[in-house]
Amino acid sequence: PGKAVFRWRKEGKARAGRVGFSLAGEGEERRFAAGVIFVPPEPPTVREAERAGQRVFTIEGEDEALAIAPGFGPSVISWARDGREYLRSAFPVAKSFSWLKPWFGGIYPFLYPAELDEWNWPGKLHEGEFEAAPWEGSIGGISLRGISLRTCLKQEKLEGLEVEVTYGAAGGGLLLTSLRVYNPSPKAFSVGAGFMGFLELGDATVETPELRRVRSRYQAWWESEGPALVRGSDGRGVLLVTPQGVPVTPWDSGEDGAHHAFGREFSLGPGGGEVIWGWWVLLSPGDDPRPWHELRHLKPGA
């Protein structure tokens, strides 16, 4: 009860909905609803090429394509569906964006030392040299293909931490982003980690369970248990779903658009590890985001 996953056996985008069930026995009948997720029968393909002199992996499905640059963030530099781009990226050269510098855009991970007396956010994970390789797995019955990126950090206050970033796509507008941090050293670390996503949806509204914000020229960001939805005036949207305990932070950057982020701070003792993950969903005009909220129960390793 509460969740179910089915494969989409016809051509089309990933879909979600709710279905009713009833159980009868011992003189009573009980009814309840369950979220149902329909995904393409086969996960997308992964190819490697060069773009603007940089190594780029492309994840291609029937109606969409993602591009990931291991040496640029490492970030998802493009996510297009039906010929329309959903991400705003600085590729191939990092720039500044509002008060962020360097800014990579797209979707990229961050990791920083969590210290009360010093401003370290969003950290220097982008300085790591990542080894990249195709990746595939199955989570909650959903088959995914994408890229795994690994590095051992050498930056001050993060030195020795091992990091693995995974981008896994199911096709049809469904993407998992996961960041695993492991501490093999004898000392403890206190860090913050997560992902930022910069969207290309034009004049958009931002919705969380407690707030719906209409865009203006003034900036605003807030923390929510989510999920969070950025929906453009043309009806297209990007939904971000995280598990319980990992807040989302929507950011209305005024004239520079509305964007997503998620993450949290945690401690890592010797031999300790932690995984921060979230699901990103492309929504077409008229799509109901609520059935997709069941994704918060589907985590790496499930």
For residue 228, how many other CB atoms are within 10 A of its CB?
28
* Cis preceding-peptide flag for 92 (omega within 30 of 0): yes
Cis status of the peptide bond prior to 291, with omega within 30 of 0: no
| Residue range 249-263, pLDDT digits in tens | 999 888 888 999 999
Is 129's pLDDT higher than 60? yes
Question: Residue 2: its pLDDT value, please?
Answer: 46
DSSP state of 253: -
Q: What distances in angstroms separate CA 245 from CA 138, 248, 278, 301, one per listed residue?
A: 23, 10, 12, 18
H/E run at residue 30: strand 28-39
Percent of the chain at pLDDT above 90? 67
pLDDT in tens, 16-49: 666 565 666 666 666 656 667 778 888 899 999 9
Spell out a b/e string for 42-76, using b for 16 or more CB atoms within 10 Å of the CB, else e. ebbebeeeeeeeeebbbbbbebbbbbbbbbbbbbb
Contacting residues for 51 by C-beta, under 8 A, at least 6 apart: 67, 69, 91, 92
pLDDT tens, residue by residue, 217-251: 788 889 999 899 999 999 999 999 999 999 999 99
pLDDT at position 247, please? 96
Helices (H) and strands (E) in the chain, counts: 0, 24
Distance CA 142, CA 220 (A): 35
List the alpha helices (DSSP H) in 102-151. none
Alpha carbons 79 and 64: distance in angstroms, whole number: 7
pLDDT tens by residue, 53-88: 999 999 998 889 999 999 999 999 999 999 999 999
Distances (CA, A) of 132 to 76, 126, 165, 166, 300: 13, 14, 9, 10, 19
Q: Is the pTM of this model over 0.85?
A: yes
Identify which of 198, 197, 194, 208 has the alpha carbon closest to the alpha carbon of residue 262.
194
Terminal-residue alpha carbon distance, the chain: 16
